[in-house]
Amino acid sequence: MKPSRLETPPSFASWLLRAVTPEDDRDDVLDELTDEYVRERLARGDAAARSWYRQQVLRSLFPILLRRFTLTSRSRYRVSMRHRLEAVLYDLSYALRQLRRMPAFTATVVATFALGIGMNATMFGIVDEMLLRPPAHVRAPDEIITLKAGSAARGFRQVTLNYPTFVAVRDKASGFSQVAATDDINVPLDRGDRATTLSGTLVTAGYFDLLGVKPERGRFIRADEDVVPLGAAVVVISHRFWMNHFAGADSAIGSKLQLGDRVFTVVGVAPQGFTSLDFAAPDVWIPMSSAGAMHFMGRDWATQATGTWLRIYARMKPNVPPDRAADDAMRVAREAAPAAFFTRPGSEFLAQPVMVARAEAQGASRRVTLLLGVMSLVVLLIACSNVANLLLARGLRRQREIAVRLALGVGRARLIGQSIVESVVLSTLGGVAALLVATWAGALVRAAIFGDIARPDAVIDPRVLGLADESPRRREDDCVGQPRHRRTPRTDA
């Protein structure tokens, strides 16, 4: 005969107690309470016993939950590292078997990742080098500014100034710790049949000190070698010119070079990858005062105060606002070159950080570079969606396998863990292939764009690869688990 409702303990309270009690002790606790309930019922009647039962359950919830929490924490500790490692190794081996069983799928995903990430990393590397990275070998480039003239309303378009202005700013302006000037020129090398043209930069004596560059060989230009009206015939050569012209021999220091109408002595070699503050990459650096007839401005280059031909760079003194330094520079420039158009009333100087000026100077190539970067990101997204589609299709095909595993008692957490391991294996394979692609393609693209002025450091650094690799990995982690567990079959499926 079925017992009446009053003969059994309150069902909700009983269910609640069963739900919170750890499985190992569930039957004991419930049996014990039921025994007591029967005793209470006989002694005090049904209603009182039911009320007593509910109170017992209510009072028991907190200690049982506390006990359960303690047991759970301890059991987690009990799972030894060895067991965890074994589980991961098993998942790893299973994932590799799965990937080996579907070579076409695996190859397609890996190739997609390799091209997607690899080309993306390559393109971002180029964008990084052209727009983001500071010039190689330059110490604290964010402290270096270039002086531009103009006005806030019309823009600061005048990037070149003149020598008297440079001298005044160097000697009298208070906001800068070091000041130097440069002018890019073409330099005739040798005469007769052997004559060629080099790209050169005229620099004032403090130029290399201002940048904080150390010579690869020899030394840079001394202050006593750059004196008006005619400085010493010494020259610093680039690493590229040293390799091409002197085959990297130490004997290059002290060698003679016929540059224009004078014979110059090589006193130093600049470090590899040093390209000045832009991508000019000159072959030689000559003291400003030593160029003789090579001066664009002619004989009175040092005194001519109306024309504009040289760029002025300066290192900011600490805690001096650039605006104040620029205003002070304009004050001394007006004294030194009162007739120049850039010192007229209404004109101002802008102390622009070289990193900003460098990016601005890229002009059209900057826009093209940015566009290429955006396009490579789009390509990466397309690659991601291709991989997502492939994984979705594979997930649908594996529904039967998942159903069997669930029927055998595999937990959902374990299945998800398995999916994650498979994702990691797949993305790692893709990442390694991408690294190879990025290294090879990066070297080719850099050689095509930068030629032999490319930096000596790694083509793809961790920063670049991290950016390119992060988004597909996340995307893939999201995608791999989804299709399989989108509609996890029940065990009776």
Partner 1 sequence: MTSGDLGELELFTLLAVHHLGGDATGLSIRDEIRRRTGRAVSVGSGYATLGRLTDKGLLRVRIEPARPQQGGRARKRVQFTAAGVRVLGESVQSLNKMLDGIVLGSR
Alpha-carbon distance of 489 to 404, in angstroms, equals 9
Q: Smaller CB distance to partner 1: residue 26 or 455?
A: 26
Could you tell me which stretch among 28-36, 133-141, 210-218, 458-466 binds partner 1 (CB under 8 A)? 28-36
Does residue 35 belong to the site contacting partner 1 (CB under 8 A)? yes
- Least separation, in Å, of the C-beta of 22 and partner 1? 9
Does residue 29 belong to the site contacting partner 1 (CB under 8 A)? yes
Does residue 31 belong to the site contacting partner 1 (CB under 8 A)? yes
Q: Residue from 1, 19, 63, 101 that binds partner 1 (CB under 8 A)?
A: 63
- Least separation, in Å, of the C-beta of 1 and partner 1? 15
Is residue 285 within 8 A of residue 279, CB to CB? The reply is: no
Q: Smaller CB distance to partner 1: residue 64 or 435?
A: 64
- Least separation, in Å, of the C-beta of 125 and partner 1? 58
For residue 289, give the 3-state DSSP assignment. helix
Q: Outline where DSSP puts E strands in 53-166.
A: 144-151, 155-158
- Least separation, in Å, of the C-beta of 18 and partner 1? 12
CA end-to-end span of the chain, whole Å?
37
Report which residue type is found at 297.
M
Q: Please, is 29 exposed, middle or buried when counting C-beta atoms within 10 Å of its C-beta (0-12, 13-18, 19+)?
A: middle
Q: Residue from 56, 160, 386, 482 that binds partner 1 (CB under 8 A)?
A: 56
Q: Residue from 15, 45, 51, 62 that binds partner 1 (CB under 8 A)?
A: 62
Q: Residue from 36, 184, 209, 477 that binds partner 1 (CB under 8 A)?
A: 36
Number of residues that bind partner 1 (CB under 8 A): 19
Q: Residue from 45, 46, 51, 59 that binds partner 1 (CB under 8 A)?
A: 59
Does residue 60 belong to the site contacting partner 1 (CB under 8 A)? yes
Is residue 252 within 8 A of residue 246, CB to CB? The reply is: yes
Report which residue type is found at 327.
D
- Least separation, in Å, of the C-beta of 24 and partner 1? 10
Could you please report the per-residue DSSP string of 128-146? IIIIISPPTT-SSGGGEEE
Burial 462-476 (b: 16+ CB within 10 A, else e): eebbeebbebbbebb
Q: Annotate each residue in 7-26 with x if it binds partner 1 (CB under 8 A) or - if it does not, as one string.
A: --------------x---x-
Q: Annotate each residue in 64-103 with x if it binds partner 1 (CB under 8 A) or - if it does not, as one string.
A: x-xx---x--------------------------------
- Whether a cis peptide bond, with omega within 30° of 0, leads into 229 is yes
For residue 220, give the 3-state DSSP assignment. coil
Alpha-carbon distance of 81 to 176, in angstroms, equals 61
Q: Smaller CB distance to partner 1: residue 16 or 320?
A: 16
How is residue 277 annotated by DSSP? Answer: B
Tokens representing residue 480 in the block = 């791999």
Contacts with partner 1, residue ranges (CB under 8 A) = 21, 25, 28-29, 31-33, 35-36, 56, 59-64, 66-67, 71
